[in-house]
Amino acid sequence: MTKENILDALKSVTYPGFTKDIVSFGFVKDININGNSIDLLIDITSSADEVKAQIRDEATKELKKLGFNTINLEIKAPKPPKQMSNSVSGKNIAPHVKSFVMISSGKGGVGKSTTSVNLAVAMAMQGKKVGLLDADIYGPNIPRMMGVADQKPEIQGNKVLPLKAYGVEIMSMGSLMEEGQSLIWRGSMIMKAIEQFLRDILWSELDVLVIDMPPGTGDAQLTLAQSVPVTAGITVTTPQEVSLDDSRRSLDMFKKLHIPTAGIIENMSGFICPECSAESDIFGMGTTEPVAKEYDTNVIARIPIEPAIRVGGDSGMPIVYHKPDSETAKRYQKAGSELIAFIDKVIEEGGADNQAIQPTTPPGVSACSM
Ligand SMILES: Nc1ncnc2c1ncn2[C@@H]1O[C@H](COP(=O)(O)OP(=O)(O)OP(=O)(O)O)[C@@H](O)[C@H]1O
Ligand SMILES: [Mg+2]
């Protein structure tokens, strides 16, 4: 019995889904014959278990026909694409929400809430069912920025109905607390609050839930990643070097938590003159690009400093909705559509299985060291 005999026999094993066989594809690697026993390595390109099983069955059958009684068949296959690895625990406590986007930053005041609001409204304007969760329990700004600061949510049984504005469902600790009330949050309380936001709010069947995080990389971020499979992470930064150093921490966090990074938003990038519309550099535009490269991601928008953005935020009139023809609104719209495309891609690749708790695939990560 020679290796050629073996290869000839294995030529009748077609690669599932193709007309070509596993030998012609060059998948048969090592063959070691030892009397009636054979060791064989087949290295395939599909990660699907059915493909592996079919090849195993058929190859074993052929080898038995040749008279081997001990068959050690190793089938090497690539790891399944990111299956549930974007969630630390593999849990999903809000299974009716198709995707979750975490808006984060290394430091405060760079424009996370502004970005969250305008991206959420942009995606709603593009026909998506969008929710906006203000997970910044220390300084909830979303109600003001969405113009619902004076509204209180309706309670239904032991659940809470989200507020709604600009086609977006909204929930915030700011809407649940009395005005002027402040709480000192302990770690366990933060975990509970985030979990309740996901479990006890009556979100519709959302396409995407945009989550505005508190600054930094702490309990809130970790709890979120442990509660739902986060589909995409966006880091907001300003172009100064000091801010970029902080945003590296945020990008590192996405990596550690296995959150697919959708990109960076460079906020307060240049200044568009309200008089002549010329764009001038203030903090150093474009400095974010190398950081994005470092983390194998992209800058999905550069949003200028513009008084209308702040005014829109303060008055609950997001620029993307109220000044749709402005350059800034167009950039938010483009970032929104890129985000939608990114989410679709991640879901297609199996990166976020939001249907239910995955019963078979154990999570890739057991604990986070942050
Ligand atoms: N591109 C911009 N042009 C002008 N003003 C902006 C811009 N982006 C944000 N702002 C303003 O800067 C302030 C801080 O923005 P925002 O609240 O979105 O930041 P944040 O990162 O969410 O802050 P925090 O860390 O406190 O939650 C707000 O008053 C907002 O209106
Ligand atoms: Mg904020």
241: confidence class by pLDDT, cuts 50, 70, 90 = confident
What mean pLDDT value characterizes the chain?
Answer: 86
For ligand 1, atom 8, the nearest C-alpha belongs to 111
Task: Average the pLDDT over 170-174 and give the result.
Answer: 92
Res. 190: pLDDT tops 90: no
Res. 210: pLDDT tops 60: yes
pLDDT in tens, 281-326: 777 767 899 999 999 999 999 999 999 999 999 999 999 999 999 9
CA of 305, closest atom in ligand 1:
3
Higher pLDDT, 219 or 167: 167
- Ligand minimally distant from the alpha carbon of residue 267: 1
Are 165 and 143 a contacting pair, CB within 8 Å?
no
CATH 3.30.300.130 domain extents, the chain: 3-76
pLDDT on residue 89: 55
Task: Average the pLDDT over 223-236 and give the result.
Answer: 91
pLDDT in tens, 71-119: 999 999 876 544 333 444 557 788 889 999 999 999 899 999 999 999 9
CA pair distance 293, 313, nearest whole angstrom: 31
The residues lining ligand 1, judged by C-beta closer than 6 Å to any ligand atom, are: 105, 108-114, 136, 139, 141, 215, 267-268, 303, 305-306, 309-310, 313
Instruction: Could you please state the CATH topology (level 3) that the domain comprising 3-76 is classified under.
Output: GMP Synthetase; Chain A, domain 3 (3.30.300)
pTM, two decimal places: 0.74
The token duo for 103 is 């808006």
pLDDT on residue 30: 92
Pick 100-348's CATH classification: 3.40.50.300, 3.90.1150.10, 3.60.15.10, 3.40.50.720.
Answer: 3.40.50.300
pLDDT on residue 60: 96
pLDDT on residue 216: 86
CA of 267, closest atom in ligand 1:
1
CATH 3.40.50.300 domain extents, the chain: 100-348
List CB contacts of 189: < 8 A, sequence separation 6 or more: 183
Res. 280: pLDDT tops 50: yes
With 0-12 / 13-18 / 19 or more C-beta atoms within 10 angstroms meaning exposed / middle / buried, residue 185 is middle
